[in-house]
């Protein structure tokens, strides 16, 4: 039942390299969404666009100016105006294959977006050798989401070919804006997964090398991304400094205090002030400052502990320096909670039977965050089960300009795992 036809593999590699050339940042993936929609239409798979399945009130970190620029670029590159109008300005797409036979509802999730990284032009880089280097300056698929999208497209086509031998429904979730953990909450809150019996999510690289598969039983950290802006009052530093209210000093004091937040005895906690911008001139009391902050925790409760401390520090600093502060949450993810007794052993057995997999291991901790955790949490809250696996590649580090994935070996391995899973779980009687 696991169709290994070479045309599917070849198409999958072509899809990945096409998407790699045209990377798009989170909430701007109009070309990629259109590309996926066209394929699903050809396969006879119905779909919902982002505006139809997202909870718009839960959207995080979306920049309207960047969205409008992306729409202009998409139109220039041949995406029809009619399609843009259908999106309502929101990216992402969920394909729904109804086999017509009674059975479970299965969801598989991939992400669409790239990262703000300039791809290397070094001759030894695999994309240079293959002539599919990013055509968008300063933007690159340096985390493998191009691979994820291509894999799920191939799985969708395999499912369409095997429709009569499958049962139930299969939902192919192409999520926008994973980077910065900005899109998962809106997908989950939209309710499109509330009828899902099992969801499987996956990621390339991370803790796994080429030939390895890691079955994640837990471990991704909960996180919150916050932007804080301070507004003070300008004044000439020489003639009337007493009239000024320094947003810069407020931000600096807040940053120092935030770095000193006590860690929690209940589990791992993290906090980082990653960016601070302030000031206009050396002789002007700075009236504006902006900080970018993230917190993390082993659980959502521990992350909330850190967020609460950040907020109280900002409010205290606001009062101490007589400035105004605005706190905005621009991204978030829950910690990973799967069903290790259900999907983990099943996925492990499938991986062990996969030709391109040399080693299968179980992973309980990954020192990163992933917003598919919101999708997983939503499914589990409605009685469903969840699984997550990593498939390895020999990469030089995620979010780097020389990120490489050996797609001719890695993509077929993930494709076979997912199609074997569907064949075993969703096969008709």
- In the chain, the number of structural domains is 2
Do 324 and 341 have their domain in common?
no
- Report the SS3 class of residue 29: coil
Q: Is the pLDDT of residue 193 over 70?
A: yes
Is the domain of 30 the same as that of 96?
A: yes
- 172 DSSP β-pair partners: 95, 108
CATH no. for residue 317?
3.30.70.360
Residues 125 and 162 in one domain: yes
Which pLDDT score, from 0 to 100, does residue 58 have? 98
1, part of any domain: no
Above 50 in pLDDT, residue 2? no
CA neighbor of 108 nearest in space, from 142, 53, 154, 146: 154
Quick: pLDDT tens for 21-70: 999 999 999 999 999 999 999 999 999 999 999 999 999 999 999 999 99
* Statement: residue 240 has pLDDT above 90: yes
Select from 287, 307, 333 the last residue of a domain: 333
- Say which CATH number the domain at 77 has: 3.40.630.10
One domain, residues 38 and 131: yes
In a domain, 192, yes or no: yes
pLDDT tens profile 365-408: 998 999 999 999 999 999 999 999 999 999 989 999 999 999 99
Count of all residues that appear for the chain in the document: 429
Greater confidence (123 vs 427) lies with 123
- Looking at the fold, whether 300 and 369 belong to one and the same domain comes out as no
Residue 1 above 50 pLDDT? no
The last residue of a domain, from among 333, 364, 392: 333
Same domain, 236 and 201: no
Do 161 and 62 have their domain in common?
yes
Question: CB burial class (10 A; 0-12, 13-18, 19+) of residue 339?
Answer: middle
pLDDT per position as a tens digit, 286-344: 999 999 999 999 999 999 999 999 999 999 999 999 999 999 999 999 999 999 888 99
Same-domain pairing of 20 and 88: yes
| Domain assignment of residue 186, given as a range | 6-219+336-425
- Residue 427's pLDDT band, with cuts at 50, 70 and 90, is low
Burial (CB count within 10 angstroms: exposed 0-12, middle 13-18, buried 19+), residue 51: middle
327 and 239 in a common domain: yes
pLDDT at res. 218: 83
Domain assignment present for residue 257? The answer is: yes
Q: Taking all residues of the chain, what is their mean pLDDT, rounded to a whole number? A: 96
Which of 309, 333, 357 lies at the terminal end of a domain, its last residue?
333
Q: DSSP assignment of 380-410, as one string?
A: HHTT-EEEEEEE----S-TTSTT----HHHH
State the pLDDT at residue 6: 80
Asked if residue 376 and residue 361 are part of one domain, the reply reads: yes
Q: How confident is the model at residue 5 (pLDDT cuts 50, 70, 90)?
A: low
Mean pLDDT of 245-262: 97
Residues 412, 309 share a domain: no
What's residue 429's pLDDT?
Answer: 42
pLDDT band at 4 (very low <50, low <70, confident <90, very high): low
Whether residue 306 is found in the same domain as residue 347:
no
Interval 150-178: pLDDT, tens: 999 999 999 999 999 999 999 999 999 99
pLDDT at 123 over 80: yes
Distance of CA 181 to CAs 8, 262, 281, 371, 411, Å?
31, 25, 35, 5, 24
pLDDT at 128 over 80: yes
Q: Is the pLDDT of residue 249 over 90?
A: yes
196 pLDDT higher than 70: yes
Give the residue from 288, 262, 293, 264 showing the smallest Cα distance to 277: 288
Neighbours of 131 (CB within 10 A): 8
Establish if 45 belongs to a structural domain. Answer: yes
């Amino acid at each position: 039942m696991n169709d290994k036809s070479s045309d599917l593999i070849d198409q999958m590699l072509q899809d990945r390299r096409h998407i790699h050339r045209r990377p798009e940042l989170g909430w701007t993936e109009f070309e990629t969404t259109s590309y996926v929609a066209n394929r699903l239409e050809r396969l006879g798979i119905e779909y919902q666009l982002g505006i139809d399945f997202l909870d718009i009130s839960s959207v995080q970190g979306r920049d309207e100016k960047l969205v409008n620029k992306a729409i202009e670029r998409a139109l220039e590159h041949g995406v029809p105006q009619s399609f843009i109008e259908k999106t309502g300005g929101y990216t992402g797409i969920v394909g729904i294959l109804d086999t017509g036979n009674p059975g479970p509802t299965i969801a598989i999730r991939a992400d669409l977006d790239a990262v703000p990284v300039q791809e290397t032009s070094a001759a030894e880089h695999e994309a240079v050798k293959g002539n599919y280097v990013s055509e968008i300056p300063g933007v690159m698929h340096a985390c493998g989401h191009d691979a994820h999208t291509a894999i799920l497209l191939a799985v969708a086509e395999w499912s369409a070919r095997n429709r009569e031998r499958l049962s139930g429904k299969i939902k192919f979730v192409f999520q926008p804006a994973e980077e910065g953990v900005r899109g998962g909450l809106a997908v989950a809150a939209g309710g499109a997964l509330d009828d899902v019996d099992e969801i499987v999510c996956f990621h390339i690289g991370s803790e796994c090398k080429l030939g390895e598969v890691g079955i994640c039983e837990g471990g991704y950290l909960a996180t919150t991304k916050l932007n804080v802006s301070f507004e003070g009052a300008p004044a000439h530093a020489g003639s009337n400094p007493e009239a000024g209210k320094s947003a810069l000093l407020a931000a600096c004091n807040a940053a120092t205090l935030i770095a000193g937040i006590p860690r929690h005895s209940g589990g791992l906690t993290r906090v980082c002030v990653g960016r601070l911008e302030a000031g206009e001139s050396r002789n002007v009391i700075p009236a504006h400052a902006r900080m970018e902050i993230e917190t993390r925790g082993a659980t959502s409760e521990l992350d909330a502990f850190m967020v609460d401390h950040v907020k109280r520090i900002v409010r205290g600093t606001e009062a101490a320096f007589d400035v105004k502060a605005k706190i905005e949450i621009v991204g978030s993810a829950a910690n990973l909670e799967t069903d290790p007794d259900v999907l983990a052993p099943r996925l492990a057995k499938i991986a062990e039977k996969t030709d391109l997999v040399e080693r299968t291991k179980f992973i309980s901790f990954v020192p990163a965050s992933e917003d598919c955790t919101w999708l997983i949490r939503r499914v589990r809250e409605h009685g469903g089960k969840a699984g997550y696996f990593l498939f390895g590649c020999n990469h030089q580090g995620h979010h780097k300009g020389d990120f490489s994935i050996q797609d001719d070996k890695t993509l077929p391995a993930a494709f076979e795992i997912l199609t074997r899973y569907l064949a075993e779980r969703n096969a008709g009687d």
